[in-house]
Amino acid sequence: MRINLGTATAPLPTNEALTSILLDAIEIGYRHFDTVFIYGTEEPLGEAVSKALELVLIKNHDEVFITSKLWCTDAHHDHVLKALQTTLKKLKMEYVDLYLIHWPVEINPSWQQGKLREFCMKK
């Protein structure tokens, strides 16, 4: 049986804490991880997978299934490849198993920042 884990939470723990949580998840059998740039979890997930490989909790990348997504601010044909390359760099991986379009719309990054700022001010 495979156990899956989506890696979005608020507020987000520190990268170190999240890496530890994800490493614990791998150790107890989680094998499918879902992330996206906007979650802020790509780097901790990549670090956890690297540590799991070092500790031989998994033998290779093929033992985990990594899903990431194209964020809507990069949903333009000129931005897709760069966004994927950034994701792979943050994950410290040569590939992801599944790369989805998070929302099938294109959003201007400055609009997104304004809405995010507005949301945070309400909290």
Q: Which residues are known catalytic residues?
A: 39
- Reduce the DSSP state of residue 28 to 3 states and report it: coil
Q: What is the largest CA-CA distance in the chain?
A: 45
Strand segments (E) across 26-112: 30-34, 65-70, 98-101
Burial class (CB in 10 A: 0-12, 13-18, 19+), 21: middle
